[in-house]
């Protein structure tokens, strides 16, 4: 088990191939008053923002209380190498005929009440770019007695891209797995952002029926990290949330100039303006990490070729941490300079192991 906290050691060979812009504060952060951008300032604000987010997402109906359909002992060859004691298939049919298919692996030595979720990013969750990190994260949970679920993004991975056509009609993206198609389903009675959240919430509901929950840890990569952030803000059952290479506050999105990342449909302010008016990313970080025993860790790959590289996080890391601490929470950003890929690195997996061990009193 992980006893001392692993440290990210900068890879000098990789660092030497990048210019000074990768290790200096970007101009987009100059003059930004982050303390004023964080509008959650009290415990009352935390509860109010959570309530308003839930009302916006589920149109006043509250968090889902249902559970997915569970098929026991599913055959999932991609997960055969994991130290599990069986895998269940979880199927959830959502609005407009969209279906989510996730898998729940049971540990050989279960510790009652522990549940982990890995949220994959864009692309098929079983392609090599996601396959090895997914297994490493799931293994880390299983070895510590956690039931663990593997959840793909809507329309991707194990999920079908098939759904009913939008009532309003109109053109749809050529790529059936593109999240841009969700814009056509937005309306006064439905928020398409719930497609990302419902599979996670209903899985937690299911596991809570098996054992009273003591630890719920979510680990999201890339697009899955966006789900991790929003879910932690609206579901206080989450005790530990880890987001890897998945989000940045809006003021940093134009950086770097040669490859800005404004995000997919769900990540952009103009797609869901009413949602982000309630809580922008900085506020979501605070709300998602505030509460007794709750912690959120943001891991950013400094030399990531596609998502949120460099050291722009230094402009908000301390203000967000200070605000979360003031409100009884625990939030931290980690600069992973150990590699040069868009991935969950071995260091990130080792850090997850340390976090889980620390929470169980072994670290």
For the sheet with 84-93, list strands across it.
Answer: 69-71, 84-93, 99-107, 147-151, 114-119, 215-221, 240-244, 295-301, 331-336
CA dihedral 348, 350, 356, 358 (to 10 degrees): -110
CA 293 vs. chain centroid, Å, equals: 19
* 249 Cβ contact partners less than 8 Å away, ≥ 6 residues apart: 34, 37, 280, 281, 282, 316
Q: What is this structure's pTM?
A: 0.95
Q: For residues 334 and 223, what is the distance between their CA atoms, to the nearest angstrom?
A: 18
Q: What is the pLDDT of residue 128?
A: 38
β-strand 114-119 against 69-71: which pairing, if any? Answer: unpaired
Dmax (CA) for the chain in angstroms is: 56
Q: What is the pLDDT of residue 122?
A: 82
Find residue 295's DSSP bridge partners.
240
Structure tokens at 334: 């980690």
DSSP output for 338-363: S-SSSS--HHHHHHHHHHHHHHTT--
Using alpha carbons only, give the angle 83, 89, 90 rounded to the nearest 5 degrees: 125
Q: Which CATH number does the domain 12-359 belong to among 3.40.50.300, 2.40.220.10, 3.40.50.1820, 3.40.50.970?
A: 3.40.50.1820
Q: For residues 307 and 284, what is the distance between their CA atoms, to the nearest angstrom?
A: 19
Q: For residues 86 and 339, what is the distance between their CA atoms, to the nearest angstrom?
A: 34
Counting as low any pLDDT under 70, the low residues of the chain are: 1-3, 123-131, 170, 362-363
* 171 Cβ contact partners less than 8 Å away, ≥ 6 residues apart: none
- How far are the Cα atoms of 175, 233, 250, 340 from residue 262, in angstroms, in the given order? 19, 21, 8, 21
Find residue 298's DSSP bridge partners.
243, 333
β-strand 99-107 against 69-71: which pairing, if any? Answer: unpaired
Q: How many helices (H) and strands (E) does the chain have?
A: 10, 9
* 181 Cβ contact partners less than 8 Å away, ≥ 6 residues apart: 155, 172, 173
Q: For residues 204 and 235, what is the distance between their CA atoms, to the nearest angstrom?
A: 10
Find residue 285's DSSP bridge partners.
none
* Burial bucket for residue 7 (CB in 10 Å: 0-12, 13-18, 19+): exposed
């Amino acid at each position: 088990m992980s006893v001392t906290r692993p440290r990210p050691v900068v890879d000098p060979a990789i660092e030497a191939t990048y210019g000074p812009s990768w290790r200096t504060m970007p101009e987009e952060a100059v003059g930004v008053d982050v303390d004023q951008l964080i509008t959650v300032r009290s415990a009352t604000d935390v509860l109010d923002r959570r309530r308003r987010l839930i009302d916006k997402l589920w149109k006043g109906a509250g968090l889902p209380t249902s559970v997915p359909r569970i098929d026991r002992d599913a055959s999932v060859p991609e997960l055969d190498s994991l130290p599990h004691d069986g895998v269940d298939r979880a199927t959830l049919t959502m609005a407009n005929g969209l279906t989510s298919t996730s898998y729940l692996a049971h540990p050989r030595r279960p510790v009652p009440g522990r549940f982990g979720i890995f949220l994959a990013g864009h692309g098929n969750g079983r392609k090599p770019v996601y396959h090895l990190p997914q297994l490493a994260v799931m293994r880390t949970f299983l070895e510590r007695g956690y039931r663990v679920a593997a959840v793909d993004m809507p329309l991707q991975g194990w999920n079908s891209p098939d759904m009913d056509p939008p009532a309003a009609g109109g053109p749809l993206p050529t790529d059936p797995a593109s999240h841009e198609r969700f814009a056509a389903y937005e309306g006064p009675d439905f928020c398409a952002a719930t497609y990302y959240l419902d599979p996670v919430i209903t899985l937690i509901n299911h596991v809570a029926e098996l054992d009273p929950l003591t630890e719920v840890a979510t680990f999201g990569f890339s697009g899955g990290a966006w789900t991790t952030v929003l879910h932690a803000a609206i579901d206080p059952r989450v005790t530990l949330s880890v987001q890897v290479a998945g989000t940045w506050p809006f003021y940093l999105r134009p950086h770097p100039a040669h490859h800005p990342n404004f995000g997919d449909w769900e990540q952009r302010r103009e797609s869901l303006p009413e949602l982000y008016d309630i809580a922008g990313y900085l506020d979501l970080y605070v709300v998602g990490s505030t509460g007794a025993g709750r912690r959120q860790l943001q891991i950013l790959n400094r030399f990531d070729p596609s998502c949120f590289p460099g050291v722009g996080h230094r402009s908000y890391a301390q203000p967000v941490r200070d605000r979360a601490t003031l409100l009884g929470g625990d939030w931290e950003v980690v600069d992973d300079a150990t590699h040069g890929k868009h991935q969950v690195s071995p260091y990130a997996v080792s850090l997850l192991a340390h976090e889980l061990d620390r929470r169980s009193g072994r670290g």
